[in-house]
Amino acid sequence: MKKLLAFLALASVAQISAAADLKGDAKAAENKVAMCVGCHGIPGYKASFPEVYRVPMLGGQSEKYIVTSLNAYKKGERNHPTMRGIAAGLTDQDIADLAAYYAKQK
């Protein structure tokens, strides 16, 4: 059991390290943003599911913020159902690319 726990701990560290080494490619994200712009690309947009709230603009946000947010949705730490569903289908590279893309927007 101790060996299994040690292995899982090492695997977790390796996975975190690999994710930290990812370099986002804003150009590659141009083919990935279609799922984002319908809500996050409309100034002043308010969504009505699961409740009415103001949808934040992503352009100009820091890469770190976007990566952290998408990973939190992916892990279930943030609970918006639509965002959880979208983030669940993203790879670590997709997340890095999207973050790079939106960080360069104004």
Q: Tell me, what's the pLDDT at 51?
A: 87
**Cβ atoms within 10 Å, residue 64:** 10
Residue 20 or residue 23, greater confidence? 23
State the total domains in the chain.
Answer: 1
Span 22-39, average pLDDT: 95
The DSSP-derived string for 51-101 is S-EEPPP-TT--HHHHHHHHHHHHHTSS--HHHHHHHHT--HHHHHHHHHH
The secondary element (H helix, E strand) that includes residue 5 is helix 2-20
Q: For the segment 52-106, what is each residue's pLDDT rounded down to a tens digit?
A: 989 999 999 999 999 999 999 999 999 999 999 999 999 999 999 999 999 999 7
Query: How many Å apart are CA 1 and CA 86, to the nearest integer?
Result: 36
Structural domain boundaries, residue 68: 23-103
CATH of the domain at 33: 1.10.760.10
| Residue 16 belongs to some domain of the structure | no
| Residue 10 belongs to some domain of the structure | no
Q: Tell me, what's the pLDDT at 12?
A: 54
| Residue 15 belongs to some domain of the structure | no
| Residue 4 belongs to some domain of the structure | no
| Residue 68 belongs to some domain of the structure | yes
| Residue 9 belongs to some domain of the structure | no
